[in-house]
Amino acid sequence: MNPTLQQDLQDIEHILEQVKQHGIDFLNAIDTIPTSTQNTIDTNANLNDFGLGSLSALEVFKQRLAPLMVSQAGPRYWGFVTGGATPASIAGDWLTTIYDPNAQATKAQGGVSALIEIETINKLLQLLVLPKSFLGGFVTGATMSNFTCLAVARQWFGKELGHDFAKNGITGPLNILTAAPHSSSVKCLAMLGIGSQNFTKIKTVEGNREAIDIADLEQNIKNLNGQPFILISSAGTVNSADFDDFIAISKLKEKYNFWWHIDAAFGGFAACSPKYKHLVNGWKNADSITIDCHKWLNVPYESAFYLVKEQHKNLQVETFQNSNAPYLGDPLENFSYLNFLPENSRRLKALPVWFSLLAYGKQGFKDIVENSVARALQFDAFIANDESFELLAPTRLNNVCFTLEGDHNQEKVNSFLMHLNDKGKVFMTPTVYQNRKGIRASFVNWRTNELDVQLVIKVMKESVLELEIE
Ligand SMILES: *Cc1c(COP(=O)(O)O)cnc(C)c1O
């Protein structure tokens, strides 16, 4: 064995103790660590000939890399739709690394870690009150979940016309209908060879809404004269957290032949709360659903899952079968995740989720969701009442979409946001909503409390004065 590796093997307890202590120090300070940084590194540093050993590498990490880390998992990072990591999810994530199984594994490959993933999906279905007619698995994020679901939808579309797209490639255009798709779904259309421009944009509901207009949808369906199509719908748009009407879409599904996909990356968690579960009423009738765990479930990054109805299992295997590896056996008889999703080898992403579900239960996630919405409404009340700001959309759930008051301030929105973000007390992201420049604050992190919102309000008022915004 290489002598440095030998030394590390002997030091393993000490190494993990040191890393644990560093982690505890970070987590204990997460409230005060800035949400943005100007720190940087020279990324061309040479690789050393001889290993430093893990303890010395940790010292270098602390000096050079740790200063690049902002409090993105902390309570005032409101950019994008960003969760944090709960204690249970960290525990599960650490053990995932320690055990390091290849999560495809079925008996044929020597392990049975797929059972952990299947059990976790079954628990998630219970959390979200969805039927067991969905089969699911873990991928890196909602983008890859959308990809997985839409790839099966693509295969379904081909089959409806008598083609096997997985085997022979796509022939002809596909019919894709959608109203306010997330950018990642559009990216998936590019990745799937469908084409990012090749969808029909359905109107959104009149007024300040991002939800699909059902009458316009039905008119567009009629225009297809009975041809099959794929509907991409939204449970939670990123600007205003709007939801399509899933009861109305369920009724259309009884009349017309289509694949119904729902991007519920964060909005799906509305199902955890009796107050907000009505937003997803009817979603159980979809063919496929995308949900992110690294958002509202507050587990570390690279954790999302897809749900596809079991009746489409054959289409899914046709799409993802790793057909050059016959030793894996019949993909349906001898279940292995590598025949159901894009990746072959993967880590056991289910374990941090499994830990979280056991540790906090239904009540824990109900409380996280309801607290996030309460914080969003607290912030919404400030925006609505302060003379320097105005709401761009009503706050329907956990996202507040706003701008500087008045059209005369439109050119100042981005510089205001940069000024605010540079202070490091909060981080929000820019957006454009109904042709106006705006700012989004998304409440997802389990730690965020009333005092965090009050602190941000104070910093925003200071920024308005500093920039002399009127
Ligand atoms: C965040 C998000 C995505 C993309 O998720 P990633 O995890 O970043 O891949 C897709 N759709 C919606 C609605 C989202 O909020």
What is the mean pLDDT for each group of 10 consecutive residues in the chain (470 residues)? 98 98 98 97 95 98 97 97 97 97 72 88 98 98 98 98 97 96 98 98 96 98 98 97 98 98 98 98 98 98 98 96 66 79 94 98 98 98 98 97 97 98 98 97 98 98 96
What CATH number belongs to 361-466?
3.90.1150.10
CA distances, 456 to each of 138, 203, 240 (Å): 35, 36, 20
pLDDT for 103: 85
Fold annotation for 90-356: Aspartate Aminotransferase; domain 2 (3.40.640)
Q: How far is the CA of 322 from the centre of ligand 1 (A)?
A: 27
Antiparallel, parallel or unpaired: β 304-309 and 134-139: antiparallel
Residues within 6 Å of ligand 1 by CB? 81, 141-143, 182, 184, 236, 238, 263, 265-266, 292, 304
For residue 83, count other CB atoms closer than 10 A to its CB.
27
Give the DSSP letter of residue 342. S
pLDDT for 326: 56
Domain ranges of the chain: 3-71, 90-356, 361-466
CA distances, 467 to each of 59, 417, 429, 431 (Å): 40, 11, 19, 20
* Cβ neighbours for 331, distance < 8 A, ≥ 6 positions apart: 317, 321, 339
Query: Measuring CA to CA, which residue among 468, 451, 458 is closest to residue 75?
Result: 451
Query: Among the atoms of ligand 1, which is closest to the Cα of residue 182?
Result: 11
In 293-401, which ranges are continuous DSSP H helix? 313-320, 350-385
What residue owns the CA closest to ligand 1's atom 13? Answer: 265
pLDDT for 106: 65
Q: How far is the CA of 140 from the centre of ligand 1 (A)?
A: 11
Ligand 1 pocket: which of 238, 302, 305, 429 to mutate (most atoms within 8 A of CB): 238
Q: How far is the CA of 82 from the centre of ligand 1 (A)?
A: 10
